[in-house]
Chain A
Amino acid sequence: MSDALAAHGAHGHAHHPAQQHHFDTLDQQHEAATLGMWLFLITEVLFFGGLFLAYMLYRVWYPAAWSEASLELNVVLGGVNTAVLIASSLTMAMAVRGAQTGLRRATMGWLVLTMVFGLTFLVIKYFEYAEKIEHHHVPGPTFAFPGPNAGPAEIYFSLYFLMTGLHATHMVIGFGILSVILWMAYKNRFSPEWYTPVEISGLYWHFVDIVWIFLFPLLYLVDRAHHFA
């Protein structure tokens, strides 16, 4: 850990405006911030992990209900949304790259694109939810599901709404974060010496993408073959 050693250089020289007083160098600050974000993402993994546990248990217990309930989901919308999110991850990566290389306009452009994709995702999700509400697939007193597997199917939809709802909440928060980053980019706060906020927002955004990468096959693609082969 020689970085900590090296980090404490001589004082007194002019600091970068973004540097906070309790750090010795901008590098130290950058490393602390990225490390902090990674740690936060560990937390997020286990946050969703609890739901994955419930998902796994009931999928094993009720394969039939799982497969029937999953058929109620719209693979086309889900698939398109997957593509949209992956695209937004690309644009986010490009935005970070823009910041790294000091291209302010490019950074802003890619950020805007990312946010547009994010919004698209949420809009599509909105239509999916509306459809579920219409079909009485929201768990609770109004829940209706034909056939004998109504009980476990209700568990499935409970998990569906919890997982995708939590994911969508993360998207909304991510949208808010990116708005701030966009504003900061507009104010020309970033440079090849200092782009940490863009980078750690990117980490967050990619994480949200990864969650969806798992949710899509787990929720939408349960046992489709059985019904269409």
Chain B
Amino acid sequence: MAGHISPKGTYYAIFGILMVLTLVTVYVAYQPLGAANFPVAIGIAITKATLVILFFMHAKYSSRLTKLFVGTAFFFLAILLGLSLTDYMS
């Protein structure tokens, strides 16, 4: 079966980055950035999630279809959140 086999090093590296990002997100949370705290926290979370999806879940090496599906999920999540906000933010 022709699945992509990542070298162990990749996994360990990703793991390291994820751990560092976790520390960063905790650290940043205690810094008074005002309105920027929330976007930074979400930004880090999105980065972490992307790493997991790309490398641990092999999306990087998967078919275009798989990538499309991943995109679809977040696209429709954005619709759910975004269009509801047209009501609540105005």
Contacts and interface: CB of A to CB of B under 8 A. Distances in A.
* A and B touching (Cβ–Cβ under 8 A): yes
5 contacts: A26-B1, A86-B18, A89-B52, A209-B56, A225-B29
Given A86-B15, A90-B15, A41 B26 contact: no
Interface string B59-84: 00010011001101110110011001
A38 interface: yes
Given A53-B80, A56-B81, A214-B49, A87 B72 contact: no
Interface of A: 26-27, 30, 34-35, 38-39, 41-42, 45-46, 49-50, 52-53, 56-57, 60-61, 75, 79, 82-83, 86-87, 89-90, 92-94, 97, 100-101, 192-196, 199, 202-203, 206-207, 209-210, 213-214, 216-218, 221, 223-226, 228-229
A42 B72 contact: yes
Contacts of B11: 90, 93-94, 97
B33 to A, nearest CB: 7
Prevailing SS type, chain B contact patch = helix
Q: In the complex, which range does the number of interface residues on chain B fall in?
A: 35 or more
A34 B2 CA distance: 13
Prevailing SS type, chain A contact patch = helix
Contact of B66 (A34, A90, A196, A229): A34
Query: Which 7 pairs between the two chains have the least Cβ-Cβ distance?
Result: A221-B29, A217-B41, A42-B73, A229-B32, A45-B73, A225-B32, A90-B15
Contacts of B44: 217
B77 A224 contact: no
Contacts of B2: 27
Contacts of B53: 206, 210
Contacts of B65: 35
Nearest to B42: A217
A53 B84 contact: yes
A89 B56 contact: yes
Contact of A225 (B25, B37, B74, B84): B37
B31 interface: yes
Given A56-B81, A206-B57, A83 B1 contact: no
Contact of B49 (A26, A213, A225): A213
